[in-house]
Amino acid sequence: MRKNITEEYLETILYLTKGGRIAKTKDIADSMGIKPPSVSEMLAKLHERGYVEYQPYVGARLTEKGRSEAVQMERKHQLLETFLVDTLGVELNKAHEEACEMEHSISDSTVSKICAFLGHPKFCPDDHSITPGECCDKSEESIPLTELKEGESGTIKIVRVDHQTRDYLISLGFLPDVLLSIKKRLPSNSLLVRIKGSEIAIGGDIAEKIYVKKATA
Amino acid sequence: MKPVKVALIGNPTVGKSSLFSRLTGIGVIISNYPGTTVEVAHGRIAHDGVDIDLSDLPGVYSLDTDSSEERTVLDFLHEEKPDVILNVIDSTRLERNLYLTLEVLELGLPVVVALNMVEEAHALGMDIDAEELSRLLGVPVIPTYIHRGSGLEELTHALFHPRMLKPRLTRYDRHVEAFIRQLMGLQLGMTRYEAIRLLSNAPESSKYPEGVRTAAGMMRKQVEQSHNEPLGEILAGNRYAEAGLIAKAVVRQRKPSPEASLRERIDDILMNPVSGFIILALVLLGMLLIVFLVGGFLEDIIAREFAIYILNPATDAFTAHPLAQIVVKYTLIGIQAGLSIVVPYIMTFYLLMAVLENSGYLTRAAFLLDEIMHRFKLHGRAMIPLILGFGCSVPAIMSTKTLQTRRERVITSAMVCLVPCSARSVIIMGLVAKFVSIPAALSIYLLTLILTVIMGFVMGRIVKGEETGFVMEMVPLRVPRARDVIDKTWVQMKEFVYVAFPLLVAGSAALGVLQYAGVLDLVNALLAPVTTGILGLPAYTATALIFGILRKEMALETLAVLAGTSVEHLNMALTPLQMYVFGVFTTIYMPCIATITMLDRVVGLKDTLLITTLTIALALVISGLIANLAPLVMALI
């Protein structure tokens, strides 16, 4: 099984399952231009390798493993597309096609370099948001909030939680470049944070998704 | 003259409800625990012959997320169209509170700001210049000292004469401002607020024509791309920047008072990973003991006196009319059951909870407990109802209303139903501990503990719904005021009395009639395959178990009556194994009527039925296993 066919499938399923739907065999076949029986056969293989959950006649959705692979591919694609369009001035449709080819051969480290070159963009030319990669976090020298010690402070860089929690956090003042300090931390990484003159308790699972830049005392 | 409609808006725990009850008299819950005022409370005051209709809205941090509280507030503003908004802000957390104020000013309604907790801010070393704040915000700002009652007169006056100066409107980023102007210029009569909402793609945007929505969408995209940030964050950032500037201009920092640093030290001890947990364990244990002892003591007195002075004389008076006698007797038994739950357990519990809540300790407890609870994919907050459950399931389930998501409420309520409440403890203690053995009684507690944990674990995985992480504002420590505590206890008891009491009384009367009509004997016979066949209990226990639904310990009392003996001599009628099985069954099987009523209010009918069925099935399986396996095990030993 060729690597880039697997990757194409995962990307297509990721695209089709946005919004929590299940990807139907027929839809996958249509959007990839392949006959449904071949798709079913391929899905069964992907299922065996742990990339998708596949039920014949119902469809497929990505497993955790498949999803992270697909998200990485999508990120590569979007960064390449951004690079081609914004930096080189390639026409959008052409950029999309070529990015589709290049994404399978380009290495992770080169993608990180492109990402850095573009200044860690958050949106690609067709306005979809680009999933931040490791390099984006490092570029800000940001660390998860949970890595700050009691008494230390930092400024918020990225808050990477679900939509609802993020809105709630924003209304409490958790915005980029806002200063906060750790007042208490419990063994399981639950934190008590001082921000905007009030104290907010945050569970460890959320705290580790808030990235901050440590302030030098 | 038409009453003036006033809506109270503010962050959670800024003393909004407290102010409300000072203005209107009793009638609303005062809390120092975020998310207590879930519904809107109403009250009316008269002033110089004109009425003010006050509505206390749930505490919110902003007006633009889709949380249920914020939706309630926006819906209320939209439907009720208040004449004036009374925005209550907490001086000790000025900057964060001003964020909401700025959003409220954008609504375009007359606003009066109540600057609350001024003396607390003063103790923290913050002096706030109210006049300057009023000048900067462009609306009247009235400092209030709730427990001295000062500022209330000025506030009432301001509500009647909300001078519209020029309210301060947040200046957003220049791209955003340009688009707001463009949208307002579309000849649709859009206000600034509406333009901002449309630009942020708020739910009500669907009322605009397709073309306008598309245009707004393109504007949003353009702003987001040029800033590399979602619009919501840009707006919030601008508002916070503005709030920060205003706060800086009006606050003068001094050295905090010694009282404030003492508070800081106490807080430190309360949340220390070692001492914090020890104190927490002591507080919870203490609370349980108090409710158990005080509640049990009061319950005894109430039930006995009620029987002597009301129940027995009334029953005797109707000896000539058997049916009337039954109805009267069982109605009174219902009232007796209600009184002996409400006053001793619910009142005691609420008093203690109100103290914990208003002192701010409850948020600290929730923070510490999150440490344990997140293993069940639940929040620290979910632990509070479970602990309350040892006292009485009704307030415990009522308290799940403070949990954020429906999912959490359902899971926690299901777990609460398995926690042995004090009424069930009466059975475990009065029957099993007394006649079987104390280890046997303890084994029932252990069993239910294990079942509760399993229930939480299983439900945590099967109940679908949003899983939100734990984020909660830590409320400043305060000395709870007696009046707030009493007000709150009263309001919550009132809820129970109105909701559960009528059902309890009606249910009891209906049961009496059923018994009179001989239906219960029929039920005994019908259920015999279960009671006798599976559980190995006498057939009449079915009736006892049915009465147990009214009030759990009534199962025990009824059992004694049916066995033709008194509770003290039940061991003559039942074998130790039967008593043990009865104890286990009554502990697990369906919640009492009062609990079911409360469940229905909190999680809805469907899940109430589900939980009830689940507990009955669980009780049957567990006690059935014990009844049938125990003899085998005994034989082997």
User: Strands of B111-116's sheet, edge to edge?
Assistant: B41-47, B50-56, B4-10, B84-90, B111-116, B141-143
Q: What is the pLDDT of residue B616?
A: 93
Helices B322-341, B482-516: axis angle to 10 degrees equals: 150
Q: Rounded mean pLDDT of chain A?
A: 84
Residue B248: exposure state from Cβ atoms within 10 A (0-12, 13-18, ≥19): exposed
Radius of gyration of chain B (CA): 29
Which of A150-159, B281-290, B600-609 shows the lowest mean pLDDT across its residues? B281-290
Burial environment of residue A181 by CB neighbours within 10 A (0 to 12, 13 to 18, 19 or more): middle
CB distance A148 to A212 below 8 Å: yes
- A141-180 b/e (C-beta count within 10 Å ≥ 16 → b): ebbbbbbbeeebbbebbebebeebbbbbbbbbbbbbebeb
pLDDT of B564: 73
- Average pLDDT of the residues in B266-292: 86
Residue among B300, B416, B290 at smallest CA distance from B351 = B290
Please list, in sequence order, all residues whose beta carbon lies within 8 angstroms of the beta carbon of residue A71, skipping any fewer than 6 positions away: A14, A131
Domain formed by B4-160, architecture: 3-Layer(aba) Sandwich (3.40)
| Residue keyed to tokens 């901002």 | B196
Alpha helices in A17-151 (DSSP H): 25-32, 36-48, 64-82, 92-102, 108-117, 134-139
A61-72 residue pLDDT tens? 888 888 888 888
Contacts of A203 in chain B (CB under 8 A): 370, 374, 379-380, 469-471
pLDDT at residue B307 is higher than 50: yes
Q: What's the pLDDT score for residue B250?
A: 94
**pLDDT in the model for residue B65:** 78
Bridge partners of B10?
A: B88
Identity of the residue in A161, A170, A203 whose CB atom sits nearest the CB atom of B370: A203
User: How do strand A59-62 and strand A52-55 relate by DSSP bridges?
Assistant: antiparallel
Based on the domain organization, do A173 and A203 belong to the same domain?
yes
Average pLDDT over residues A118-143: 74
Largest CA distance in chain B: 90
pLDDT at B39: 64
The DSSP code for B346 is I
Q: With a CB-CB cutoff of 8 Å, which residues 289-308 of chain B face chain A?
A: none
Predicted confidence band of residue B94 (pLDDT cuts 50, 70, 90): very high
Instruction: Enumerate the residues of chain B whose CB falls inside 8 A of the CB of residue A136.
Output: none
The reply to whether A188 touches chain B by the CB within 8 Å rule is yes
Domain final position from A12, A44, A62: A62
Of A121, A186, A202, the CB nearest to B273: A186
Q: Is residue B66 scored above 80 in pLDDT? A: no
Chain A residues touching residue B67 (CB < 8 angstroms): 164, 167-168
Average pLDDT of the residues in B407-435: 86
A170 in reach of chain B (CB within 8 A): yes
Rounded CA separation B372/B383 (Å)? 9
Q: Which residues of A touch B371 (CB under 8 A)?
A: 186-188, 190
A155 near B CB under 8 A: no
Whole-structure pTM value: 0.73
Least Cα separation, residue A209 to chain B (angstroms) = 11
Is some CB atom of chain B closer than 8 A to the CB atom of A205?
yes
If asked whether residues A72 and A93 sit together in one domain, one would say yes
Confidence at A195, pLDDT banded by 50, 70, 90: very high
A172 and B93 Cβ atoms separated by less than 8 Å = no
pLDDT for the residue B275: 92
**pLDDT given at position B27:** 44
What residues does B52 pair with on adjacent strands? B4, B45
- Choose the closest CB to A171 out of B62, B366, B374: B62
Q: What confidence tens digit (pLDDT) does each residue in B136-151 have?
A: 999 999 998 766 777 8
Count of C-beta atoms within a 10 Å radius of residue B314: 14
B24: confidence class by pLDDT, cuts 50, 70, 90: confident
Determine the 3-state secondary structure of B371 from DSSP: helix
Q: How confident is the model at residue B163 (pLDDT cuts 50, 70, 90)?
A: low
Average pLDDT over residues B273-291: 85
Q: Are A131 and A79 contained in the same domain?
A: yes
Q: Which residues, numbered 27 to 56 in chain A, qualify as contacts with chain B under a Cβ-Cβ cut-off of 8 Å?
A: none
The reply to whether residue B237 touches residue A169, judged by beta carbons under 8 angstroms, is no
pLDDT digits (tens, 9 = 90+) for B170-184: 999 888 999 999 999
How far is the C-alpha of B103 from the C-alpha of B245, rounded, in Å? 15
* Average pLDDT for B292-310: 85
User: Which residues does chain A have within 8 Å of residue B224's beta carbon, measured at their own beta carbons?
Assistant: 123
For chain A, what is the domain count?
Answer: 3
Tell me how many degrees the CA angle A47-A51-A57 measures, rounded to the nearest 5: 40
Closest among B423, B366, B372 to B393, alpha carbons compared: B423
Q: Provide mean pLDDT across the span B537-541.
A: 89
CA separation for the pair B558, B542 (Å, rounded): 10
Q: Residue A170: its chain B contacts at CB < 8 A? A: 62, 65, 232-233, 236
pLDDT above 70 covers a percentage of chain A that reads 95
Query: Is pLDDT larger for residue B62 or for residue B16?
Result: B62
Contact B566, B597 (CB under 8 A): no
Tell me which of B388 and B352 has the higher pLDDT: B352
Q: Which residues of chain A make contact with B60, given a CB cutoff of 8 A?
A: 171
Stated length of chain A: 217
pLDDT in tens, B313-324: 988 888 888 888
User: Domain check: are A150 and A206 in the same one?
Assistant: yes
Asked if A188 and A176 sit in the same domain, the reply is: yes
**What is residue B319's predicted lDDT score, i.e. its pLDDT?**
85
Mean pLDDT of chain B: 84
The answer to whether B403 and B34 have CB atoms below 8 angstroms apart is: no
- Name B249's Cβ contacts closer than 8 Å, sequence gap at least 6: B132, B136
Q: Is B361 on the interface with A (CB under 8 A)?
A: no
Residue A2: pLDDT band (50, 70, 90) is low
Determine the average pLDDT of the residues in B101-117.
Answer: 92
B206-259 pLDDT, tens digit each: 888 888 899 999 999 888 888 878 899 999 999 999 999 999 999 998 888 888
Q: Which residues of B touch A158 (CB under 8 A)?
A: none
CATH number of the domain to which A23 belongs:
1.10.10.10
Min Cα–Cα distance to chain B from A38, Å: 35
The DSSP code for A174 is -
Q: What is the nearest CA distance from A36 to chain B, expressed in angstroms?
A: 33
State which residues form the domain around A97.
67-139
Q: How far apart are CA B266 and CA B260, in angstroms?
A: 10
- Residue B444 is predicted with a pLDDT of 92
CA A29 to chain centre: 25
- Cβ B99–A173 below 8 Å, yes or no? yes
User: B186 versus B82: which is more confidently predicted?
Assistant: B82
Q: Indicate if B174-253 has the same CATH topology as B4-160.
A: no
CATH number at residue A104: 1.10.60.10
DSSP B55: E
**pLDDT value, residue B466:** 62
Does A122 touch chain B if contact means CB atoms closer than 8 Å? yes
Cβ burial, residue A134 (10 Å; 0-12/13-18/19+):
exposed
Q: How confident is the model at residue B36 (pLDDT cuts 50, 70, 90)?
A: very low
Chain B neighbors of A202, CB-CB under 8 A: 469-471
Contact B291, B391 (CB under 8 A): yes
Measure CB to CB from residue B271 to each of A184, A196, A205 and give the nearest one.
A184
**CATH 1.10.3470 given to domain B174-253:** no
- Contact present, B428 and B583 (Cβ < 8 Å): yes
Do A45 and A76 lie in one domain? The reply is: no
Residue B31: predicted pLDDT: 44
Residues 6+ apart with CB under 8 A from A210: A144, A145, A156, A158, A159, A160, A161, A169, A174, A202
Size of interface A-B (CB pairs under 8 A): 127
| Residue B35 pLDDT | 44
Q: Does A144 touch chain B (CB under 8 A)?
A: no
For B564-602, write each residue's pLDDT tens digit. 777 677 788 889 999 999 999 999 988 888 888 888 888
Domain ranges for chain B = 4-160, 174-253, 276-463+485-636
pLDDT digits (tens, 9 = 90+) for B461-520: 777 766 667 888 888 888 888 888 888 788 777 766 776 678 778 878 888 888 888 888
Q: What is the pLDDT of residues A72-84, one digit of tens each?
A: 888 888 889 888 8
A202 with B99: Cβ contact below 8 A: no
Query: Taking 60 as the threshold, does the pLDDT of residue A217 lie above it?
Result: no
Mean pLDDT value across residues B377-384: 73
- Judged against a pLDDT cut of 50, whether residue B29 lies above it is answered with no
